[in-house]
Homo-oligomer: A and B are copies of this chain.
Amino acid sequence: MYELGVVHRNISRTEAHIADALARYGSATVHEAMGRVGLLHSGMRPIYGGAQVSGTAVTVLLQPGDNWMMHVVAEQICPGDIVVAAVTAPCTDGYFGDLLATSFQARGARGLVIDAGVRDLRTLAEMGFPVWSRAISAKGTIKATLGSVNIPVVCAGALVHPGDVIVADDDGIVCVPRAMAATTLDAATKREALEGEKRARLASGVLGLDMYKMREALAAAGLKYID
**Chain A 17-49 interface 0/1 with B at a Cβ cutoff of 8 Å (1 = within):** 000000000111001101111110110010011
Contacts of A164 in B (CB 8 A): 1
Asked whether B41 lies within 8 Å of A90 as measured between CB atoms, the reply is yes
Contact B28 A97 (CB under 8 A): yes
Residue of B whose beta carbon sits closest to that of A212: B71
How many copies the complex holds: the figure is: 6
* B-chain residues with CB within 8 Å of residue A171 when the two chains form the complex: 94, 119-121, 136-138
Binary interface profile of A, 168-184, with partner B (CB < 8 Å = 1, else 0)? 01111111110010000
- B222 & A52 in contact (Cβ 8 Å cutoff): no
Chain A residues within CB distance 8 Å of chain B = 1-2, 4-10, 26-28, 31-32, 34-39, 41-42, 45, 48-50, 52, 64-65, 68, 70-72, 74-75, 88-90, 92-94, 97-100, 102-103, 105-107, 117, 119-122, 125, 135-140, 143, 145-146, 152, 154, 157-159, 164, 169-177, 180, 195, 198-199, 202-205, 207-209, 212, 214, 218, 221-227
